[in-house]
Chain A
Amino acid sequence: MIRTEELLLNVGPQHPSTHGVFRIIVKIDGEVITEATPVMGYLHRGTEKLAENLNFTQIIPYTDRMDYVSAMTNNYVLCHAVEKMMGLEIPERAEFMRLIVMEMQRVASHLVWWGTYLLDIGALSPFLYAFSDRERILGLFNELCGARLTYNYMRVGGVKWDAPDGWIDRVRTFVKDMYNRLDEYHNLVSGNEIFLSRIKGIGQYDAQTAIDYGLSGANLRCTGVQWDLRKAEPYSLYDRFQFDVPVGKNGDCFDRYEIRMAEITQSLRILEQALEQFPGEGETMGKVPRVIRPPAGEIYVRIESPRGEIGCHIVSKGKAEPYRLKFRRPSFVNLQILPKLLVGESMTNLVTILGGIDIVLGEVDC
């Protein structure tokens, strides 16, 4: 007679597949997970507390370090919130620069996800493809602002640096090349039988569950809910461009994969149009008071980051520092559904499901 026993297993906090310092305590019965308890906070730096003693320009570099594979969108949400509170006008050229770098960032972020996700599942080479293309975006960002990851590029009222000579043309070339590379990616991975059997029908949930859990981004759209803040509540210049919001219908890992891949195409489409309409000259910084003091009041501003709805809730008392600054981090909210998805799954699917949610631990812990 075989004696069976429940086993308590710690995955993380140091494990390559948790994409950062994230720990999950799983109870397994044989190969089947019976309970999962996520433990986080290993990367908690107290950004919100630190921000209470910093002025708004000083907080921008901290936002870089939250979702560190998508720093541009984080920069934007803070600057946008402060601008909205102060009622500032942003020069068109500055807004175009912001939009272009945000969409490039979305492509770069999805490439990181694509590469590492396949690495999780066991395919090594896609990672190398993805990172070589992402490298081109980082190179362009480096040219623009001297940093590859933590850009600190945007300011309240505009952007810090204008595009250097020829930069826009180089982005144009990149966009053209990227279309071809995407085809290559699809040839390489999307139809692969082993890959499909690993992710089809895994980590499935329906639209109601997604909404209950407050999921956003591809995690929400994979269930068929058409909700992209760039379309639903347009900000920046997004209402000027033609693009689609890809949605899935099964709510499984495969749909999330397809949506993210389709979103790269849509971002390239937006980039093409933005580069076409890019104003030849103009200011990159609006007229901003020397000391940024948003008037007393409260605001909640949200934008669509590659991971979903990133929000910034500012309570101001008319000082240069925020009275309270809270970030709604999509990774943190999206991760909540993980324990529910894991129960009853086999151990091998743990990494598939976790990777499919697409979290960045810098953002989960803030």
Chain B
Amino acid sequence: MSEENNREPEGTPASADPAAESKDTASEAAAPKEPAPSAADEAPAPPPARRVETDEEKAARRKAALEAREAAKAAAAQAAAQAAQAGTEGRAAAKAADGEGGSSEEEQSPKPPSPSQPRLDRVVALLRELVSEDAVEEAYINEANDHLPTIVVKNEHWLKAAQLFRSHEEMNCGYLRNLSGVDYETYMEVVYYPLNMDRRETYCLKVRSDREQPSIDSVTPIWETANWNEREVYDLLGIEFPGHPDLRRIMMPDDWVGHPLRKDYVPLDPEV
């Protein structure tokens, strides 16, 4: 039953939709849901109505998206104008606006000033002041994710930056909630989500590394919880973590060849 439900008719042309829809509802109605005969009887009727609504909605959404995009463009222009006067603050905003150029994150919230923007600016200033002038590669607000301040930290300054996040009173992030690695095909990236529990503030920190010899300083000495997480990233993506106390595979067998989550991974034995 679950297989039927999961079959998403992907990329079906619009004209073929009604047929697909009725087929789906048929399978739904046939689903063994014994105690509700009334629901099963009604099932075939509503879908055409819902179909029309979806189309209308689609058009409306497109229109809204277009408007939002224009608004965002205007906001970006404004921010750029401000940047000429207002140093870092404006720079970060403008970067945020054109860094995601054309992506739908802008469609969702056309309002330019994010409530997290001051927090992001403060942290970026701190990193520049206490770690290094060029420690911050990129900084923006991830609006879809509850306006999460996102900072890309330069690889060579990562360890110092992480220490700052852990111990500086401004951030004071004692809790590392998640650590994941991503293979972007041109570079590798590790994403950290440190959290300040008292103020309930989360940050997103990213560190990038070259793809051939990926290596990022281990934060296990700073956040103990990174230990197994880094081992997992090493195992599945092949990123080295110098400074890690015990870097070996954790999920795959010790004699496994390759790192499965890399985009270019080819299994040694195709039968497996």
A290: interface (CB < 8 Å): yes
The residue among A212, A296, A300, A320 with the most chain B CB atoms within 10 A of its own CB is: A300
Whether A300 touches B193, Cβ cut-off 8 Å, given contacts A57-B6, A214-B223, is yes
B33 touches A146 (CB 8 A): yes
Give the residues in chain B near A301, CB-CB below 8 Å: 145
Minimum C-beta distance from A350 to chain B (A):
19
Interface residues in A267-320 by Cβ distance below 8 A to B read 287, 289-292, 295-302, 309, 311, 313, 315, 318, 320
Q: How far is the CA of A291 from the CA of B10 in the complex (A)?
A: 6
Chain A, 165-185, contact with B by CB distance < 8 Å: what is the 0/1 string?
110000000000000000000
Give the residues in chain A near B260, CB-CB below 8 Å: 46, 49
Stretch among B86-94, B103-111, B126-134 lining the A interface: B103-111
B44: interface (CB < 8 Å): no
Q: How far is the CA of A152 from the CA of B5 in the complex (A)?
A: 9
Q: How far is the CA of A213 from the CA of B5 in the complex (A)?
A: 39
Residue of B whose beta carbon sits closest to that of A288: B54
How many residues does chain B have at the interface if contact means C-beta atoms less than 8 Å apart? 62
The 8 Å CB contact of B58, one of A60, A146, A161, A289, is: A289
A162: interface (CB < 8 Å): yes
Q: How far is the CA of A365 from the CA of B8 in the complex (A)?
A: 28
Whether A365 touches B6, Cβ cut-off 8 Å, given contacts A311-B178, A328-B177, A332-B228, is no
B19: interface (CB < 8 Å): no
A61 touches B35 (CB 8 A): no
The 8 Å CB contact of A84, one of B11, B12, B144, is: B144
Residue of B whose beta carbon sits closest to that of A39: B250
Whether A211 touches B175, Cβ cut-off 8 Å, given contacts A87-B144, A146-B32, A324-B180, is yes
Minimum C-beta distance from A287 to chain B (A):
6
A122: interface (CB < 8 Å): no
B236 touches A48 (CB 8 A): yes
Q: How far is the CA of A60 from the CA of B2 in the complex (A)?
A: 10
Residue of A whose beta carbon sits closest to that of B142: A298
B174 touches A211 (CB 8 A): yes
Q: Is the interface of B mostly helix, strand, loop or mixed?
A: mixed
A225: interface (CB < 8 Å): yes
A23: interface (CB < 8 Å): no
Minimum C-beta distance from A78 to chain B (A):
13
Minimum C-beta distance from B193 to chain A (A):
6
Residue of A whose beta carbon sits closest to that of B185: A323
A160: interface (CB < 8 Å): yes
B253: interface (CB < 8 Å): yes
Q: How far is the CA of A147 from the CA of B5 in the complex (A)?
A: 14
Minimum C-beta distance from A111 to chain B (A):
25
A164 touches B35 (CB 8 A): yes
A232: interface (CB < 8 Å): yes
Q: How far is the CA of A311 from the CA of B178 in the complex (A)?
A: 8
B58 touches A41 (CB 8 A): no
Give the residues in chain A near B54, CB-CB below 8 Å: 287, 289-290
Residue of B whose beta carbon sits closest to that of A232: B200
Q: How far is the CA of A300 from the CA of B145 in the complex (A)?
A: 7
A132: interface (CB < 8 Å): no
B5 touches A295 (CB 8 A): no
A165 touches B36 (CB 8 A): yes
Minimum C-beta distance from A106 to chain B (A):
20
A69: interface (CB < 8 Å): no
Q: How far is the CA of A48 from the CA of B181 in the complex (A)?
A: 12
Minimum C-beta distance from A239 to chain B (A):
14
A44: interface (CB < 8 Å): yes
Chain B, 121-163, contact with A by CB distance < 8 Å: what is the 0/1 string?
0000000000000000000001011001010000000000000
The 8 Å CB contact of B108, one of A40, A87, A146, A212, is: A87
The 8 Å CB contact of A40, one of B12, B104, B251, is: B251
B182 touches A324 (CB 8 A): yes
Q: How far is the CA of A289 from the CA of B228 in the complex (A)?
A: 38
Selected A-B contacts with CB under 8 Å, 9 pairs: A41-B251, A150-B2, A295-B105, A296-B104, A298-B145, A302-B178, A313-B180, A326-B178, A328-B178
| B residues lining the A interface (CB < 8 Å) | 1-2, 5-6, 8-12, 17, 31-33, 35-36, 38-39, 50, 53-54, 57-58, 100, 103-105, 107-108, 142, 144-145, 148, 150, 174-178, 180-183, 191, 193, 197, 200, 204, 223-225, 227-229, 232, 236, 249-253, 260-261
Across the A-B interface, give the 3 residue pairs with the lowest CB-CB distance, nearest first: A214-B225, A295-B104, A326-B180
